[in-house]
């Protein structure tokens, strides 16, 4: 597991490792600032995908890599049946994966990102171009928060090749990751069911908190804010509905 932490790492990094280290062979923690003492590596979230290929190369024996941001909680017990040979991303989740038209788009950021996508796709090997254009065409791009996705071993080389094709371009993580996925394979071949039941709320109502939207039946829940040990204990207590052994951590 590769996890990007936005909260204070000195108060949360060890806790995240405790939680997910029970399930994953290795938990790599990334943050905007490194912390050698806590083995936290520096990685800007806006270009996190560029750093991932370096991590992939370091763990060449891994079966696959799951990327997670700390705003999302993973209910790992619901993913035991997911196909570990296929790509997973939140492409079936409304508000997480959005198609943005480029023609007559007034937002400069999307227009610039779209031009970079076109450039990368245009310079890509034929199989990447074909996959991408069949799914997306040329007049729109996919925008995905990319808070959670999985890359199996057989796609690691493709992912690295796509990072190389982007090079120094300022392509954002939220545009690059969905583009990579569509270039690597057809969405029909993703295990879209793996994350299909994810709870994803872009705006919580005044009377809503993580506790009120959380369900142990979903593969993942968004958003959550874990800033310290007290927040972490609250999350663990909720998650223990799905994995009672978690209560040993609190």
Which CATH number does the domain housing residue 60 bear? Answer: 3.90.550
Mean pLDDT computed over 12-34: 96
| Per-residue pLDDT tens digits for 181-202 | 999 999 999 999 999 999 999 9
Q: What is the model's pLDDT at position 250?
A: 82
List the beta bridge partners of residue 199. 221
| pLDDT of the residue at 146 | 97
Taking the C-alpha atoms of residue 237 and residue 250, their distance in angstroms, rounded to an integer, is 8
pLDDT at 40 over 90: yes
Report strand pairing: 28-31 vs 2-5. parallel
Mean pLDDT of 226-249: 96
Work out how many domains the chain is built from and give that number: 1
Name the pTM for this structure.
0.96
Q: HEC profile for the chain?
A: CEEEECCCHHHHHHHHHHHHCCCCCCCEEEECCCEHHHCEEECCHHHHHHHHHHHHHHCCCCCEEEEEECCCEECHHHHCCCCCCCCEECCCCCCCEEEEECCCCCCHHHHHHHHHHHHHHHCCCHHHHHHHHHHHCCCEEEEECCCEEEEEHHHHHHHHHHHHHHCCCCCCHHHHHHHHHHHHCCHHHCCCCCCCCCEECCCCCCCCCHHHHCCCCCCEEECCCCCCHHHHHHHHHHHCCCCHHHHHHC
| Cis peptide bond prior to 223, omega within 30° of 0 | yes
Question: Domain range holding 98?
Answer: 2-249
Contact 56, 65 (CB under 8 A): yes
The tokens for 130 are 């074909």
- 227: Cβ contacts below 8 Å, ≥ 6 apart: 7, 8, 11, 12
What does the mean pLDDT of the chain come to?
96
How do residues 58-110 score in pLDDT, each as one tens digit?
999 999 999 999 999 999 999 999 999 999 999 999 899 999 999 988 999 99
């Amino acid at each position: 597991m590769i996890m990007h932490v936005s909260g204070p790492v000195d108060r949360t990094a060890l806790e995240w490792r405790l939680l997910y280290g029970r399930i994953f062979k290795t938990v790599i923690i990334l943050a905007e600032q490194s912390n050698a003492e806590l083995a936290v590596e520096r990685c800007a979230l806006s270009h996190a995908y560029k750093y991932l290929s370096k991590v992939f190369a370091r763990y060449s024996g891994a079966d696959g890599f799951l990327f997670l941001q700390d705003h999302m909680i993973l209910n790992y017990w619901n993913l035991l049946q997911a196909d570990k040979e296929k790509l997973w991303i939140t492409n079936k989740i409304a508000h997480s994966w959005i198609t943005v038209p480029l023609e007559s788009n007034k937002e400069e950021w999307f227009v610039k990102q779209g031009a970079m996508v076109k450039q990368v796709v245009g310079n890509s090997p034929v199989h990447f171009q074909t996959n991408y254009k069949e799914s997306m065409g040329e007049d729109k791009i996919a925008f995905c928060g990319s808070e959670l996705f999985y890359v199996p071993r057989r796609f690691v080389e493709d992912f690295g090749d796509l990072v190389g094709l982007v090079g120094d371009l300022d392509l954002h993580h939220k545009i690059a990751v969905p583009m990579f996925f569509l270039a690597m394979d057809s969405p029909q071949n993703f295990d879209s069911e793996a994350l299909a039941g994810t709870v994803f709320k872009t705006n919580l109502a005044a009377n809503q908190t993580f506790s009120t939207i959380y369900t142990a039946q979903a593969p993942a829940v968004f958003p959550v804010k874990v800033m310290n040990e007290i927040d972490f204990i609250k999350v663990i207590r909720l998650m223990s509905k799905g994995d009672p052994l978690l209560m040993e951590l609190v």
